[in-house]
A = this chain, B = another copy of it.
């Protein structure tokens, strides 16, 4: 049997309420008795029952984190940021992957409601509005990271994809490129639009034309789609001299495709990635990419939920939406070069 607060009380011939207070550091209890209690609690291997406690307090000290895929290295880093601040604030995390499956989403949301998580962080999972309402309806605060759906959430952390995409494009333009193509991921919503938009804005600033066929979308964010995309662009006439890719995975596929086609990077074609996932440094050539502060995004998201959970905050504030937009930084490596032969 696990030892309870009452066991300790009995052993010390004391009321269990005293034990409870002592263990929670109440100032009501005399130092001497508090000390004795803590000591025998230790001896008996006592451990709080989170269940019993949260039954009374309506707090579980647990956060729910919903991610679309755990094995996506991008989420891995965000998760790390979240986990770190959760841990530092004595919160545990419930993790679940939706895999873009509505039925799984339903079950995840249900399970998290049953466990009465104090708050929820949704990572790029395009969770349906209906599901997320299940939380807000019952007063469970939600923070959304890099929201993909068009729906608006009150509290969210974004990466500034427009700005990031502009940085990348500007760099390429600075290298003298004029025929720049964009390879997007149609399966991704808002993120993709904003990256396209940033690309177009920056091109427009420099009065560079973007023919419609220079913007292409592939149906996913994996490397295999980069291979597809590059095949498309190579068939174009005139051919672009640089390709801005939706993310690093796709860019890796593009590099592979170009190599197979015997086109040297960056000699004959410049390529950029996006996100700076861990291995983008080890493609060949190393990928010039936009370093998105993933871990920081995660930790900010966690800080935000915790803030929403803070009683002081709940009272004082007018409950205005909080949206935090973080900027990334261009990371220049070796996949881009100046155009040598202008058209």
Residues of A within 8 A of B (CB): 2, 45, 47-52, 54-55, 60, 62, 69-73, 76-77, 79-80, 83-84, 87, 90, 92-97, 104, 107-108, 110-116, 137-138, 223, 252-253, 255-256, 259, 278-279, 281-284, 286, 295
Contacts and interface: CB of A to CB of B under 8 A. Distances in A.
Contacts of A286: 256
Given A51-B51, A107-B87, A115-B50, A80 B92 contact: no
A114 B73 CA distance: 30
B116 A51 contact: yes
Contact of A278 (B45, B73, B84, B114): B73
Nearest to A283: B282
Nearest to A248: B279
A2 B138 contact: yes
A279 to B, nearest CB: 4
A129 to B, nearest CB: 16
- Interface residues of A: mostly helix, strand, loop or mixed? helix
A37 to B, nearest CB: 18
Given A55-B55, A92-B94, A72 B83 contact: no
Contact of A49 (B49, B50, B114): B114
Given A51-B51, A87-B96, A252-B279, 12 more contacts: A45-B138, A47-B114, A49-B116, A55-B55, A76-B76, A83-B95, A90-B111, A92-B96, A92-B115, A94-B94, A259-B284, A283-B283
Given A71-B77, A83-B96, A253-B282, A51 B54 contact: yes
17 contacts: A45-B137, A47-B110, A50-B115, A55-B55, A62-B94, A71-B278, A71-B295, A72-B76, A73-B76, A73-B279, A90-B111, A93-B95, A253-B282, A256-B286, A279-B279, A282-B283, A283-B283
A295 B97 CA distance: 14
Nearest to A69: B80
Contacts of A284: 255, 259, 283-284
Contact of A50 (B79, B93, B114, B259): B114
Contact of A71 (B47, B50, B76, B253): B76
